Amino acid sequence: MKRFHVHVSVNDLDASIGFYSTLFGTAPSVRKPDYAKWMLDDPRVNFAISQRGGAPGVDHLGLQADDDAELQAIGDRLLAADKVALAERGTTCCYAHSDKYWAEDPQGVRWETFHTHGEATTYSTPEHEQAGAVCCGTAAVSTKAGGSCCSGGSCG
């Protein structure tokens, strides 16, 4: 069963953690100096916020797969429709190790489909940080529309 994913960029992480903890009735399951995440079962959502210099608001949406086969089925559908902007294997992003497919809908909303393999001690790899991208492969990877997949400055 897939889990819906929402990632919001925020101006004030502490104030936002307070608001969403009240809204969801629970503290975040992951909290870092620049990031927080709630893994909720009701509703079944992976809701993440980050304060990393991006414009405030919805950064991207996504689907979190429970296993590799589920992710591959989503990826196969996106690939068949020529909608994959970037495929990543073994990437580090949002304090997690994951495999991912990135796509954009017709309005330009970024969609991340992913399967997480474990926790990471950093937000992203040092190579991504040095290149000015925090995830989604390298800074040189672009979408079909010509922009960087990580143009919003955050992910997962």
Check whether domain 1-156 has CATH 3.10.180.10, yes or no: yes
pLDDT value at residue 43: 93
| Mean pLDDT calculated for residue range 140-153 | 36
% of the chain at pLDDT higher than 90:
61
pLDDT value at residue 107: 85
| Mean pLDDT calculated for residue range 109-131 | 80
Average pLDDT score over the chain: 83
- Report how far apart, in Å, the C-alpha atoms of 117 and of each of 22, 45, 90, 96 are: 29, 18, 8, 7
Residue 140 has pLDDT above 50, yes or no: no
Q: pLDDT of 56-105, one tens digit each?
A: 999 999 999 999 999 999 999 999 999 999 999 989 888 888 999 999 99
| Predicted TM-score of the model (pTM) | 0.77
How far is Cα 135 from Cα 61, in angstroms, rounded to an integer? 15
User: Where along the chain do its domains lie?
Assistant: 1-156
pLDDT value at residue 128: 56
Q: Which of 28, 33, 40, 27 is nearest to 13 (CA)?
A: 33
